Structure 1
Amino acid sequence: MIRKAALAAMAMLALTVPAAAQAPVFDGRALADQAIATARREAYRSGKVDWPALEAKVHAAAGQARDELDMLAVYAQLLEGLGDGHSFVQVPDDRRKAYLARHGREFDATAAHYPQTSAFIMRRDQAFQRLKLGPRAEATILVAPKVFGGGAGAKAYANGLYRALADAAPTSCGYVLDLRGNVGGNLWPMLTGLSPLLGDGFASGEEDASGARSVYANLKSGAAVIAAGPRPAPSARRPMGWPAPTPASSNPMAPTW
């Protein structure tokens, strides 16, 4: 009798102990579908993409993914399939290294690499040079290389261009802007640094896949001013107290050509 009671108590205890929580099953296809939906809505060339074929490739790759780290290659394949040459996956270095350690290759190793067409593609530093045009006239040559990222590097880039323009203004009748090797990157350090040449009102915006355009920022007094939209304010701004460069048209030494 005692044994039966003990067994009954153990059975009741087993019924009241909660089952161990099961880890959620990873669903790579669901993540792929979310990415595909976003790409179809946002991609500039969305109307030119063979979506059934691309979705089939992405779903097949997602079916092999074990976790979100493996999904990096899936996302890279999706963006490569857009065919715009300007869409890619950006992740912190530790995630890239983790994928490399697991698979022995970069997650975007199969992406197409376009040949470089400029001998100046490796230029990283700004340069400034005076160009004599006659006994009383000179111009300034400015080399504006590519720049990526924000923060202190973007500010230093913008400040360097602006300072060169400000310093050259009293004696320069014009400027030669050397953009060879500049493949782009962060637009705003370039624009704010060159704002004395562009003037107030230079606007930048976007055009979506439907052709609709929106202006979200413009230049004013050497700073990027957000006009509309959720974007954060650009990090590169002209330091207060710098002199405004004199326009070449008001320079008494400027020739009349």
Structure 2
Amino acid sequence: MVLVGGLATAATAPRPDPVRDYLLNALGLLRANSIDQKSVDWPRAEAEAVREIAGVTEPAGTYSAIRNVIAELGNPHTYLRGPNAARPPAPSTIEVPSSRTFGDLAELTVPGFLANPAAAGRYVSAGVAALAAADANRPCGWIVDLRANDGGDMHPMLTVVAPLLGDGVVGSFAAPDGPTPWTLRSGRLTVGTASTTESNPLQLARPRPPVAVLTSSRTASSGEATLIAFRGLARAATFGQPTAGLATGNVPFPLSDGAMLVITMVHDVDRTGRVYGNTPIPPDHPLPATATTDEVIAAASAWLHTQPGC
């Protein structure tokens, strides 16, 4: 009788459903980690998502249902990347910082950086070299161009601009369990208690220079975090157009098929305590969208030459 009962139980046990499990795992990650988790009725959303994938046999068939729930969260910075898009680019193809000098000023262009540990050292090394090459001319003021910085990993970016920012807390993440400060010490960035491998020990010929930061609607995510590190700094001002409005921190969660669920978990905060989010950050000195690069540089240069020591 025990054997027969055991067979009967086994016969009625639900069959494993890896596709359904994949879906519910993704939704569970969103529910547990998103800063917008309270905006969704999770039992209803999960039930609707399960109904939506009826008959689906591959994980890719759940993407639409997952994205529908992401849309309910209402955060444009949270997203799902398929396996092909989730693969990092070759390190040699990632743009690196560059610099130029003109007159008594220097310009440092800081591009976005796709999170790729294998490329971080190359990016920082190029940035340190660019900063050093421009500093050899002893510029009295600096322009930091973030107009095309569409984000990625902020750690290499902040490491590159560390000598322009100086030591101390330059910003933080606001999370439910408390703030996580971004701290620079001797060119090394520490976020919370985790320090970066790379550092930028360069000592500027003219320490604590005035800095003009250029922004546009393409300045996004970690590009905005880099901008925020200069916000509240008395010797810095921003020029150009409002940013994209994605000033929040994301954490990537790999899924079993190679896709990546990128979840917004924290807000960016500047050194004055101002909290940012999904609203574009306006520049201190707005310029027309039709302004040419020469006109933007001219406006920034004129301001720099009004600052002490320049």
TM-score (structure 2 length as normaliser) = 0.51
Residue 126, structure 1, aligned to residue 97, structure 2: yes
Residue 194 of structure 1: how far off its partner (Å): 0.7
**Contact 2:166–2:184 under 8 Å retained in 1:** yes
Partner of 1:174: 141
Residue 190 of structure 1: how far off its partner (Å): 0.3
Residue 36 of structure 1: how far off its partner (Å): 2.8
Structure 2 unaligned segments of length 5 or more: list them: 1-12, 88-93, 210-306
What SS class does the counterpart of residue 173 from structure 2 fall into?
strand
What SS class does the counterpart of residue 75 from structure 1 fall into?
helix
CA gap 1:214/1:243 in 2 versus in 1, 3 angstroms: closer
Inter-partner Cα distance in structure 2 for 1:140 and 1:207: 33
Determine which of 155, 158, 171 is the counterpart of 1:188.
Answer: 155
CA gap 1:173/1:183 in 2 versus in 1, 3 angstroms: same
Whichever residue aligns with residue 111 of structure 2, its letter is P
Determine which of 48, 52, 55 is the counterpart of 2:39.
Answer: 48
**Contact 2:187–2:202 under 8 Å retained in 1:** no
Partner of 2:16: 25
**Contact 1:148–1:154 under 8 Å retained in 2:** no
Inter-partner Cα distance in structure 2 for 1:95 and 1:174: 39
**Contact 2:96–2:123 under 8 Å retained in 1:** no
Determine which of 106, 119, 129 is the counterpart of 1:140.
Answer: 106
Determine which of 237, 240, 245 is the counterpart of 2:198.
Answer: 237
Structure number, greater radius of gyration: 1
Whichever residue aligns with residue 140 of structure 1, its letter is A
Determine which of 69, 87, 109 is the counterpart of 1:78.
Answer: 69
Structure 1 unaligned segments of length 5 or more: list them: 1-21, 97-122, 133-137
Deviates most, 170-179 or 29-38: 29-38
CA gap 1:48/1:124 in 2 versus in 1, 3 angstroms: same
CA-atom RMSD in angstroms: 3.6
What SS class does the counterpart of residue 84 from structure 1 fall into?
coil
Higher relative contact order (CA 8 A, sep 6+): 2
TM-score (structure 1 length as normaliser) = 0.60
Partner of 1:58: 49
